[in-house]
Chain A
Amino acid sequence: MRTLSSEQKEQLTNHIAKKPIKYIGLYNELYDHYASTYEIGENDFENTLEALDQEFDYYKVKSINDNLVDKTRKSVNQIYVEEFKNFWRWPQIMTTLGILFLCYSFIEFLPMKIIVWYVFMPFLIFTSAILIYGGILTKRKKYGNKRFESAHLASAHHFLSLPVTLFNLTVFLPALFLEPYKPRIEFYENYPLIAFILMMIFFIAAYIGFKVFKSKIRVQYL
């Protein structure tokens, strides 16, 4: 059986990278398909590429790429929904209620400024750091001057941004109800229950988002 020389490998890498592929999984599959066809077949390298390009033309590859992300996104969304349903079990419910009871005690006995700076901000920094790390992980592999991303991680990544979005909502929500130039903290001092509910949603979204993303980290990479 023939094997690809290093020049042919480089040529094939650049050849596949030129196709409208965005995801590493598809890049790897096409690379392996082209390489296997050459190694097992009888045609020379250039003819093999030419023959396969007739099947994998621009529109076909684009359609496979779009189809892949569509299907992956649907399956990841389904996993998220399943995780959300599974969350409502006694151990998780009791743990969440315990954390929330502590949070509510903080809200009751500590000034809101301390809660924001010592409870909410560390959580936000941690969530944002995970979000950035997830973004770096998603776009990791580079072949032929092109950076490919993981379809699974890209689909799961927006669940990491959900807690940060919720935090933004928490910060900007009081602006809708307060008179201009009044400190936003006043809103939460007057309505601690809203802060409590937002914190609860923030914790649940962060927990499930991390869990789904973590399960997808090892899917695409070796």
Chain B
Amino acid sequence: MKKLKDFSIPNFLMHKKILYTCIMANQQLIKGSLSTIVLHLLQSSGEMYGYEITQKVKQLTSDEIKLTEGALYPTLHKLEAEGTLTTESRKVDGRVRKYYRLTEDGKKATAERMEELEAFLLNMQRVLGLNLKLSS
């Protein structure tokens, strides 16, 4: 009997593909929760500038989550236009630095989003049987 040609993906490529899928899935999750991350950070820190936000996320997640700056700034501009954030420009070391801060509406929106996220994660935990511990 004629032997069929093996078209399966070699192991080393399969690993790359799984790794790529994991990174992409992670990026998709981060993209979906980017505004919530930004709002929460601003709630706890008071005011922050763009670069500081990326560094804070890196620090909190021990370099596991890297915010893409290309997605961060449009999110900040969107939240500012919605009236969730307010900005203040200040001169620091001879250059202009733009600080973002939550507005009163933004504080309410953050509290609502955090509640929604917590409820969502609890439901996911129940459905998928994950062993997560969420602190309130």
Q: Which residues of A are at the interface with B, using a C-beta cutoff of 8 A?
A: 3, 9, 25-26, 28-29, 31-33, 35-37, 40, 52, 55-56, 60, 63-64, 67-68, 71-72, 74-75, 219-222
Q: Which residue from chain A places its CB closest to the CB of B87 in the assembled complex?
A: A219
| CB–CB B90/A32 < 8 A | no
9 A-B pairs with CB atoms under 8 Å apart are A29-B50, A35-B95, A36-B49, A40-B51, A52-B69, A67-B77, A67-B78, A68-B74, A71-B81
| CB–CB B95/A67 < 8 A | no
Q: By the criterion of a CB under 8 Å from any partner CB, how many residues of chain B are at the interface?
A: 27
B109 smallest CB distance to A (angstroms): 16
Q: What residues of chain B lie closer than 8 Å to A37, measured between beta carbons?
A: 51
Q: Among the interface residues B49, B70, B83, B91, which one has the most CB atoms of the partner chain A within 10 A? A: B70
B74 smallest CB distance to A (angstroms): 5
A178 smallest CB distance to B (angstroms): 46
Name the contact of B74 in the complex, choosing from A3, A67, A221 (C-beta under 8 A). A67
Q: What residues of chain A lie closer than 8 Å to B78, measured between beta carbons?
A: 67, 71
* Complex-state Cα separation, A25 to B96, whole angstroms: 9
Nearest 7 A-B pairs (CB), nearest first?
A: A71-B81, A75-B81, A36-B51, A28-B96, A60-B70, A67-B74, A33-B51
Q: Which residues of B are at the interface with A, using a C-beta cutoff of 8 A?
A: 49-52, 55, 68-70, 73-74, 77-78, 80-83, 87, 89-98
* Complex-state Cα separation, A63 to B70, whole angstroms: 9
Q: What residues of chain A lie closer than 8 Å to B89, measured between beta carbons?
A: 28, 220-222
* Complex-state Cα separation, A76 to B50, whole angstroms: 23
Q: What residues of chain B lie closer than 8 Å to A29, measured between beta carbons?
A: 50, 73, 98
Name the contact of B96 in the complex, choosing from A9, A71, A72, A222 (C-beta under 8 A). A222
| CB–CB A64/B50 < 8 A | no
Q: What residues of chain A lie closer than 8 Å to B49, measured between beta carbons?
A: 32, 36
Q: What residues of chain A lie closer than 8 Å to B97, measured between beta carbons?
A: 28, 32
| CB–CB A28/B98 < 8 A | yes
Q: What residues of chain B lie closer than 8 Å to A74, measured between beta carbons?
A: 81
Q: Which residue from chain A places its CB closest to the CB of B68 in the assembled complex?
A: A55
| CB–CB B95/A64 < 8 A | no
* Complex-state Cα separation, A56 to B74, whole angstroms: 12
Q: Which residue from chain B places its CB closest to the CB of A33 in the assembled complex?
A: B51
Q: What residues of chain B lie closer than 8 Å to A40, measured between beta carbons?
A: 51, 55
